[in-house]
Structure 1
């Protein structure tokens, strides 16, 4: 008498298990189906790594942009490098899931709350102190900056340790752009500026600023990572694995070294004879 009920129970269990498997696999399937393109951005004032294309200011070019095109070929998904605003805005867009990738970010604990980092990093950079050429500043360690007025670009990080030290011990003004920071330094509204070495040199050259120098040692040596927003429609285990394998391959081939050299030359050609650009007043 109990056998029909037992068979019915088994069939119900099978149907329930099948429905559960479908529900579990559905989000990943939908994510893979939705991932037909990746939208990337990054710091637009970061030559030779990234800067706005003079021919199309909605587009970013540079060594990191070229690396993303190589990555796109490896993973079989197009990657568009788009200008979405200054560096602070880029991070907010990633937090909101409006962009998928950031093509070059330092590691900080707060950023891990809204995006995944791909290991290993694809490049190492140096963040340095910039001062006026005639400045009499004796700098050999972080403590030498205490009591001086510093300036940098908003939402820039120079590593967890220095960020913590700066917050606790330094007077630091943050402005919207590197050009504004340079102008503040030139006008003696700041004693020093903190920014990475290669992008800093590139912008000083573009603005025809020759009376600013770099001090040693570096404030921090940090690594650049590719990151993926937690809210990206493409953020699935399968896609993260695909990107990781592709990045490991490109890094092992030392792809960025050649891209950096060609983009240094491109930046120079674009800015030969360039006049200093007008900027809004520093604030």
Structure 2
């Protein structure tokens, strides 16, 4: 009975202070997030499914919508035009415009991708010195690697992962750096050949839900409710099942 009353109380404060939350994320991020083909304003994926579970926990509707590229998503968060980013790595710079909700909801593995005809000899970050890399604009691979790359490596950027794969296939760069699961999903759907991941991984990072500093819904009460929701869902390990289901969904879309 007390638990029920606590839940009702949570819904009451939510309804009074915040009618709806708008969430978005990287639209080229299957199986975590991608733009629905039939309705270009909607986002599908494991992270979108997670947001609906979070919505039920905090008692506020969450609209997961497409707002543009990953670079645009981060700009919208800075301006407070969206409330939540459903999936972001931690970087110190991002603390300037959004709060991280703890705990993280997924651990991810970022790897190098190379051409099978020109295998990369890679064991540590310093092995990449003198090579030309590529990734998608505004991507992060963890605070440590980002800092090292900025000072010591040459990594170009392009707007989309599909474009990056094409450039790599043509041999215009030595390697592509991207997360393993999303890259594998794209490779399978686009029937890309001649590319392979390189071990060891560049970094292993956590994915977080974040809340814009300028969101009108950003209150201590909401931050606490979101953290409690993430803690509960992380303990239930809901992401594994949703990621597996969305890998299959992405391949059929």
- Return the TM-score normalized by structure 1: 0.83
Q: Shift in Å at residue 136 of structure 1?
A: 3.2
2:133 matched to 1:150? Answer: yes
Tell me, yes or no, if the aligned pair for 2:101 and 2:209 is still in contact at 8 Å: yes
Contact kept, 8 Å, 1:32 with 1:236, in 2: the verdict is no
- Does the residue aligned with 2:187 lie in a helix, a strand or coil? helix
Conserved 8 A contact 1:117-1:227: yes
Does residue 1:238 correspond to 2:240, yes or no?
no
Matched, 1:138 2:138: no
**TM-fit CA distance, 1:124:** 0.3
- Equivalent of 1:103, from 72, 86, 102? 86
Which secondary structure state, in structure 2, belongs to the residue aligned with residue 155 of structure 1? coil
Matches within 5 A, 1:153-164: 153-164=136-147
Task: Tell me the residue number matched to 1:51.
Answer: 34
Give the greater-gyration-radius structure (CA): 1
Taking the TM superposition and a 5 Å limit, the aligned residue runs for 1:167-186 are 167-186=150-169
Report the more deviating stretch, 115-124 or 240-249: 240-249
Give the superposition deviation at 1:121. Answer: 0.3
Cross-structure match for 1:78: 61
1:224 counterpart residue number: 207
Given the alignment, which residue of 204, 218, 242 partners 1:259?
Answer: 242
1:248 aligns with: 231
CA contact (8 A) 2:15 2:60 kept: no
- Structure 1: 4+ residue segments shifted above 3 A: 30-34
Q: 1:33: how far off?
A: 3.7
Q: Which residue of 1 aligns with 2:105?
A: 122
**Other structure's SS at 2:47 match:** helix
What's the counterpart of residue 273 of structure 1?
Answer: none
Question: What's the secondary structure of 2:57's corresponding residue?
Answer: helix
The corresponding residue for 2:8 is none
The answer for the alignment partner of 1:14 in structure 2 is none
Aligned-residue offset at 1:137: 2.0
Where do 1:55-66 residues align within 5 Å?
Answer: 55-66=38-49
- Alpha-carbon RMSD across the aligned residues, in angstroms, is 1.3
Structure 1, unmatched stretches of 5+, are 1-29, 271-283
CA contact (8 A) 2:21 2:60 kept: yes
Please list the CA deviations of residues 43-97 of structure 1 after superposition, one character each: whole Å capped at 9, or x if unmatched. Answer: 1111100001122121110000000001101111000111111111100000000
Q: Is the 8 A contact 1:106 1:223 kept in 2?
A: yes
Measure the CA separation in 2 of the matches of 1:66 and 1:77. 15
- Find the residue that maps to 2:75 and give its secondary structure: helix
Task: Report the equivalent of 1:5.
Answer: none
Tell me, in whole angstroms, the C-alpha distance in 1 between the residues paired with 2:67 and 2:33.
Answer: 13
Instruction: Tell me the residue number matched to 2:193.
Output: 210
For these two proteins, the number of residue pairs brought into alignment is 241
